Amino acid sequence: MSQTAEQDPKSDAVALDPEVLVAARAASDKKAIDIVVLDLRAVASFTDYFVICNGANSRQVQAIAEGVEDALRQDGKRPLHTEGYSAADWILLDYGDFIVHVFGAQTRKFYDLERLWRDATRAALPDDLAAQNQ
């Protein structure tokens, strides 16, 4: 995946891998709240990106995770591992090169992955996603 991320000539932001964008867009389509993409390539070796978002309730958390899975499945990508569907408080979809974390609001605040991985770069989302995310 690192090979597909390229420098955008118009800015200092790194262009996100297309599959990461598919995941973020799918989450946005299910009305995910506060979508964040962390670029972990400089600080971790187990994955390149985290896609982090949350839903308003457990049904929405499940719907977001299912939407991400469906969208990526259409591109021929299946998660290597999933966790948390039954509790629907923190669903993790591990795609190897990136991991999608879908939280309930309180669980996201409690674990605060953005703070825990503060040394990672927060990737810039495309304008259409960033506008929906506000």
Provide, rounded to the nearest whole percent, the portion of the chain with pLDDT above 70. Answer: 87
> Amino acid letter at 88?
A
C-alpha distance from residue 57 to each of 4, 28, 32 (Å): 35, 15, 11
> Alpha carbon 67 to chain centroid distance?
12
> Can you list the domains of the chain with their CATH numbers?
26-132 (3.30.460.10)
pLDDT value of position 45: 95
Contact 7, 15 (CB under 8 A): yes
Centre a 10 Å sphere on the Cβ of residue 12 and count the other Cβ atoms it contains.
7
Place of tokens 């973020």: 24
Of 9-13, 51-55, 77-81, 109-113, the poorest mean pLDDT is in 9-13
* Entry pTM: 0.86
- Per-residue pLDDT at 134 exceeds 80: no
Reported as a single tens digit per residue, the pLDDT across 10-29 is 333 567 899 999 999 999 99
Beta strands 49-55 and 98-104, pairing class: parallel
